[in-house]
Amino acid sequence: MHRTILPPWLGVVVADDVERVGADRGDEAVEVPLLLRLDEPARTWTDAFPVGNGRIGAMVHGGTGDELLQVNDDTCWSGAPHDGPVEPVGPLGRDGAPGVVRRARRLLADGDPLGAQAELARLQSGWVQAYQPLVDVVLAHGAAAGDAGYRRTLDLARGVVTTTWTSATGVPWRQDVLVSHPDRALLLERSTAGAASDAGEAWVRLASRHPWADAPAPVDAPDGDPRAAVVVATLDMPSHVLPDWVPGPDPVRYGGRSVHAAVALAVLAGDAASVEVVDGAVRVRGTGRLRVVLTTATDHDVATGTLHGDRARVAADALAGLRHALADVDGIAARHVADHAALMGRVSLDLDAAVPDLPLDARLVRHAHGEPDPHLAVLAFQHGRYLTVAGSRPGTLPLNLQGIWNASVRPPWSSNYTININTEMNYWPTLVGDLAECHEPLLAWLDRLAVAGAATARTLYGVRGWVAHHNSDPWCFTGPTGRGHDSASWSSWPLGGAWLARHVVDHHDWTGDDDALRRHWPVVRGAALAVLDLLVELPDGTLGTSPATSPENHYLLPDGRAAAVSVSTTSDLAIVRDLLEQVRRLAHVAGDHDESLRAAVDGALERLPTERVAPDGRLAEWRTDVPDAEPEHRHQSHLYRVFPGTSIDPDSAPALAAAALRTLDARGPDSTGWSLAWRLALRARLRDPDGVAALVTAFLHPVDADPSGGDGSARGGVYRSLLCAHPPFQIDGNLGFTAGVAEALVQAHRRGPDGVREVHLLPALPAAWPAGRVRGLRLRGALRLTELTWRDGRVERAVLEADRPAVVDVRAHGSAERRQVVLQPGRPAVVVAPA
């Protein structure tokens, strides 16, 4: 038996009332402030604070005399649904695309990887489309201009950006901005405690980077209210946008089939005010209270990925949404806060640290100079959850590279779905952060992606199931990117579907929702069929992949040239093995009793090599020991089975875990923002608290206020607003950071030899966090860590709950000692320190 005597700090109590147990020990919850604060208006777009409801996103700049809200709608993308399968650039030859793959395989066997890369370039089939900005709401209010006492905050708990200041004439002002999920509307409210006569004149207008189809024009205000004005506008997204890094004479095209969008805007003023529409803009005079309400609509149906093409209907939808919101405009804010707080309040983290009375940018610089500020980690952890709540709700599209916030027609990397790590990382914190409903947009999109990827699997590879390569979009692009010139290091990688399928598995592991597993099982099954058909027998009798890449990385050939294509890369085999193991484990739960599939999976797993340790002690990335072209490369895909996989840790595979740590050491201390977040999760899984601490510090490095006095924009970290810098901005790092912190506090991925799940408390707690409390994290096995409290780095108290009967082994701090705990729904198990 692997269990030992319960360590002296641990005792297990089963209680009907968790709050009563230990209540006399001063364990009452303490509200940790969750305010991001800056003491000046945004100087750049990344200085602004994001608000959103999953569909509408806005960046709030916090201007006083001139305010800017940059608004997105998550359905606004360039392009349109695809007709037919992918079309490789070719030429392909009489044996089609599968013949290209076979020729590349032969070239690799003959020792010519560069020739194989040139052959595979024939399969490239264009690029994904780009996420688009919608409109700007511009508020010109000269009488309110001023900077005295200025403060701008984003309240993560309430989902509201608040700006307070005093105008140059001594009048105090306050502005609140939010985007309501219940009312499907953006609300800006600006008010003063001064006299309405001090408010002067304000103008509100809409602007867009796209040409108007119908310019902003007035419509009747609700009930003919003279203190209100309403304008409606329509516009079309581009029919095609080239990626920002691809040159071309016509990178942005309008006029073809594309998304039709509409915006409806209401401006409401207080008593005795004058409101009128002049040339599509709204002029307001003499009001101490100004409210702006905005709704959007498009013809893009995210459930089906289709466009209905009726612009008039879109305008009517936007106006109907606005009238619905205005029916009880006074209740919008309260309904929003209640809805947002209900999700955010499920999880709290307190690192028992003081909160300095300083703006965020100053705190980041002090922290980078070595001043302890554990509360920054709390803010960054909850910021990831906030961005999930604000950016991903049932019925929306999945979070893209920038979530739902983007100001550029040609954004970095098209602000697309980059599925060789970044899209997956976007959803790492969702389940552990008790936001399972926010995971739904990814799963729903995967159902459609798998259908599109089936045609790509047949066309390019002649295999069953479905595949996707490294980029996609709402139109479910699944082919290799490029027109014959993209690097094989990213383009020639057909395992995007296999990686994404793990999210279906993870959703079941965390929630225990068998119905959801059955509903999305075709995603998993189809990905497994594809990899089974893609595997080839190698000369040593093993199964492997050929051609193969390690996403976006290169190795050096004997003549010093860099190559990307190889045979049986470690990341390929890790992803394939993980997927097939999950199919074997869960097929019966999903109702899949296909014995031929089970036999094929079992046979493949017997012949798939596992990871190996290279002569230098690192986990090998390539099949042979070749030099790295870029030793500190940002991707570490060959560590897949450490994290997000669950197979390699210091207990289950100590030699491989040690090699993985050496790999991370060799990658160096700095990288892009999202890579730092991935390395944080990897270090936590490998139980390296010092590594976790170093990566927290590296991630919180202020790239736009470098403490060394130099230009910090060349390395990863965060902007003043705490948004992650790749650089440029990518949201995946913010979300990956949250997952990495959770991994340092609790892990529940392992099962013992008897199948009992292990709950490991504080497996990688940094020394800089000696005391704290976390409440509400969800764990694999449909478990909940209702509370975990620690002091001096040791567990004081933990409370576990289960959604269904369960047996778990509890351990802490990397100790080998475990205690078995039986959990019943509604009866928390309370682990307390002796009195």
Per-residue pLDDT tens digits for 148-169: 999 999 999 999 999 999 999 9
Measured CA distances, 760 to 217, 344, 651, 683 (Å): 60, 24, 12, 15
- Residues 6 or more apart whose CB falls under 8 angstroms from that of 164 comprise 149, 150, 151, 172, 173, 174, 175
Band (117; pLDDT cuts 50, 70, 90): very high
Helices 689-699 & 673-685 angle (0-180, nearest 10): 160
Angle, CA of 727, 731 and 736, to the nearest 5°: 105
pLDDT tens-digit series, residues 637-661: 999 999 999 999 999 999 999 999 9
- Residues 6 or more apart whose CB falls under 8 angstroms from that of 473 comprise 77, 79, 128, 129, 414, 416, 417
Pick the CATH number of 11-32+751-832 from 2.60.40, 1.25.40, 2.30.30, 3.30.450: 2.60.40
**Predicted pLDDT at 706:** 62
Band (222; pLDDT cuts 50, 70, 90): confident
Band (563; pLDDT cuts 50, 70, 90): very high
Burial 218-238, CB ≥16 within 10 A → b, else e: eeebeeeeebbbbbbbbbbbb
Residue 568, phi-psi category: left (phi > 0), alpha (psi -120 to 50), beta (remainder): left
Domain pair 11-32+751-832 / 90-123+420-629+633-638, same fold: no
Rounded distance, CA 175 to CA 163, Å?
5
Band (213; pLDDT cuts 50, 70, 90): very high
Domain boundaries, the chain: 11-32+751-832, 42-77+130-344, 90-123+420-629+633-638
SS3 state of residue 313: helix
Q: What percent of the chain has pLDDT over 70?
A: 95
**Predicted pLDDT at 704:** 84
Least Cα distance to 388 among 427, 425, 424, 350 occurs for 427
**Predicted pLDDT at 77:** 98
Of residues 364 and 712, more confidently modeled = 364
Pick the CATH number of 42-77+130-344 from 2.70.98.50, 3.40.50.970, 2.60.120.260, 2.130.10.10: 2.70.98.50
**Predicted pLDDT at 370:** 95
**Predicted pLDDT at 19:** 35
Distance, C-alpha 536 to centroid of its chain: 34
**Predicted pLDDT at 197:** 75
Distance, C-alpha 117 to centroid of its chain: 31
Q: What percent of the chain has pLDDT over 90?
A: 89
**Predicted pLDDT at 24:** 33
Rounded distance, CA 100 to CA 115, Å?
11
Please return the burial class of 17, using the count of CB atoms within 10 Å of its CB with bins 0-12, 13-18 and 19+: exposed
Of residues 736 and 708, more confidently modeled = 736
Both structure tokens of 112 = 């010519």
Rounded distance, CA 750 to CA 783, Å?
14
Under a CB-based contact definition with an 8 Å cutoff, are residues 828 and 800 in contact? Answer: yes
pLDDT tens-digit series, residues 793-824: 999 999 999 999 999 999 999 888 999 999 99
Of residues 266 and 16, more confidently modeled = 266
Least confidently predicted of 82-91, 479-488, 505-514, 619-628: 82-91
The amino acid at residue 21 is V
pLDDT tens-digit series, residues 752-763: 889 999 999 999
Predicted confidence (pLDDT) at residue 25 exceeds the cutoff of 50: no
Predicted confidence (pLDDT) at residue 17 exceeds the cutoff of 70: no
Predicted confidence (pLDDT) at residue 22 exceeds the cutoff of 80: no
Predicted confidence (pLDDT) at residue 18 exceeds the cutoff of 60: no
Predicted confidence (pLDDT) at residue 205 exceeds the cutoff of 60: yes
**Predicted pLDDT at 225:** 76
Band (30; pLDDT cuts 50, 70, 90): low
Backbone angles phi, psi at 781, to 5 degrees: 90, 15
Rounded distance, CA 424 to CA 572, Å?
16
CATH fold of 90-123+420-629+633-638? Glycosyltransferase (1.50.10)
Query: Whole-model pTM?
Result: 0.96
Least Cα distance to 473 among 457, 496, 439 occurs for 496
Average pLDDT value for the chain: 94
Q: What share of the chain is helix, strand, coil (3-state, %, to 5)?
A: 30, 25, 45
Count of CB atoms within 10 A of residue 686's CB?
23
Rounded distance, CA 516 to CA 439, Å?
12
